[in-house]
Structure 1
């Protein structure tokens, strides 16, 4: 991932059309209403109600109750043509907000700490603008309001429910407000943008006993310690240095007393990678290492390996379209960041496996306003100037995509 300064940039909003600049206060109001009522995955009932209420008020055709709380709005241009989907996630995180702002979360222990309230406000405002300017684009736009991105994942059940059908979607785009980039930047690239996310949980079964008589035992803590160390050789010695991958043990539990050798130890962790080919190598080597260490110490194990989201891999043609549009909206010294990547994961990947598309980052950090805390932090917040930029980019993508020849 390219390192960029989070110093505030001189942002010129003159490239944002007047109607969208005038819409900015409404976008901010929508975002703040959503921020006050955050909801966890598949529980976004108030969020869905607000979205549906606004779409109905604006006369926009939509379906509710998809994959429990998901919504799809459909907007037709004046003439038939291609179908572009815009995806926005709606869910929040189980975090107690620490921001002292008038619109802080009213739901104890739940917070929009990743910008999904902004994504929803941008998509909803895009729907409004397009519904008022149908003469400016051909074809159809489907705006997908998706639940449960933070887990357990709402993209796949929405696809299974048919959101990419009737009419058949030709391509899909989505954005993530990104506090790792300063306001006035866009991170877009062809190929892998975000990593596949997988996890493992392992129970080591040894033989407990007295801490002073170790020869009578099989020390599960010792076995687990060897496993934790050995797992680091997967990335160091089995993955090419030119590839990116992570194997992290984030949790380990064992033991009850200082003079007792524990008979069981529990450890869990996460696996991340960009190259889909590593999806077979890493879990295979992980189990081989666990099995080998356990056998050498006389222990046994139970391993549960879970695949969550595949890597977010952008289509070259749609990524180039996003880049060209962003260059027409964003005018700062840094501008477009073409090699922006993260080992974080996103279930937008399931949409990108199904159809061509592009997911991109919209810089939203502004340290001068104390708006640069990282994602999932209890003080996460972003510069709301980015909201209008997001709408402008989506609108231009619709207009440009629908005008493309097959």
Structure 2
């Protein structure tokens, strides 16, 4: 078995957070290249404006989540970068959109890329352009094994008391490479609280102001050690 943890700024130091089942979403990075035709800005009718077309594509793709996916299913479709154009007086001939799809549903992970292609194909064809689409296999969902989750809960409770072991209600749409362990051996992942409002330690993990209450490091160490001991006696001896 494998046990892992991640610092969590929304949980106060001295506590951990964990849940059964899905802990983190899956991800698929993708890239769309809109290909138009360059021309002088004074003669736009002689070109095919890739920037204009990419704006339609970007807007239309948001309907995949808002109008084609059940509100009860968690999906995030993000376009994170838009790159194109060379000069203010030139009609752009190529725009590259880079984004990422996040979901917890295997069916949606397969079907949404097909919708991205169909929507982009329809818009580009209607505006005399073409496109390339590439999607990459990202991280799978992180799914906690029940037995290993029980092990962490028991081990943490022995060291920091059960009331400081928080059962998380919802998974995270963030992704985690620990998920690969979960697909090969029984594994579980938890959040180690590092927030301390009295010390001003409240900033997001992706903020340049991020910090941790270093007292939380001890909590992580003793939880991991206790879990290792319990694992040896409860699992490996079977």
Does the alignment reach a TM-score above 0.5?
yes
Selected match of 2:27 from 194, 197, 215: 197
1:187·1:339 contact (CA, 8 Å) conserved in 2? no
Whose RCO is larger (CA < 8 A, sep 6+)?
2
Higher alpha-carbon deviation: 268-277 or 222-231: 268-277
Mapping of residues 42-53 of structure 1, within 5 Å: none
Instruction: Note if contact 1:185-1:332 (Cα within 8 Å) is conserved in structure 2.
Output: no
Give yes or no for contact 1:245–1:271 (8 Å, CA) kept in 2: yes
Q: Contact 1:249/1:270 (CA < 8 Å) preserved in 2?
A: yes
1:346 aligns with 2:176: yes
Shift of 1:200: 1.2
Match of 2:16 among 180, 186, 189: 186
The aligned counterpart of 2:200 is 370
Correspondence 1:382 to 2:212: yes
| SS of match in other structure, 1:354 | coil
- DSSP 3-state at the match of 2:112: helix
RMSD of the TM alignment (CA)? 1.9
For the residues of structure 2 that align with 1:322 and 1:205, how far apart are their CA atoms?
Answer: 52
The answer to whether the Cα contact below 8 Å between 1:184 and 1:335 also exists between their aligned partners in 2 is no
Contact kept? 1:199, 1:271, Cα under 8 Å = yes
Secondary structure at the aligned position of 2:106 is classed as coil
8 Å contact kept, 2:194–2:212: yes
Tell me, what secondary structure is at the counterpart of 1:243?
Answer: coil
Task: Provide Cα deviations, 1:207-247, integer angstroms capped at 9, x if missing partner.
Answer: 12233433322111111001101111121233221111111
Matching residue within 311, 321, 337 for 2:151: 321
Matching residue within 60, 66, 78 for 1:248: 78
Total equivalences in the alignment: 236
Structure 1: how far apart are the matches of 2:21 and 2:165? 20
Which residue of structure 2 aligns with residue 392 of structure 1?
222
Which residue does the alignment assign to 1:9? none
| Distance in 2 between residues matched to 1:331 and 1:190, nearest whole Å | 19
User: What runs of 5+ residues in structure 2 fail to find an aligned partner?
Assistant: none
Counterpart contact for 2:157–2:164, Cα < 8 Å: no
Picking from 272, 275, 278, the partner of 2:105 is 275
TM-score (norm 1): 0.55
Check the 8 A contact 2:76/2:103 in 1, yes or no: yes
Equivalent in the alignment of 2:54: 224
CA contact (8 A) 1:352 1:358 kept: yes
Given the alignment, which residue of 147, 151, 160 partners 1:330? 160
Q: Deviations over 1:169-203 (max 9, x none)?
A: xx111111211221122111111111212211221
Distance 1:325 1:333, change over 3 A: closer
Whole-angstrom CA distance in 2 between matches of 1:310 and 1:286 = 20
Q: Distance in 2 between matches of 1:239 and 1:307?
A: 21
- 1:353-394: per-residue Cα shift (whole Å, max 9, x none)? 111110110101112212222113223220111111112111
Whether 1:213 aligns to 2:43 is yes
Q: Under a length normalisation based on structure 2, what TM-score does the superposition of the two structures give?
A: 0.91
Deviation at 1:395, TM superposition (A): 1.9
Give the Cα separation in 2 of the matches to 1:234 and 1:329.
46
Equivalent residue in structure 2 for 1:308, among 130, 133, 138: 138
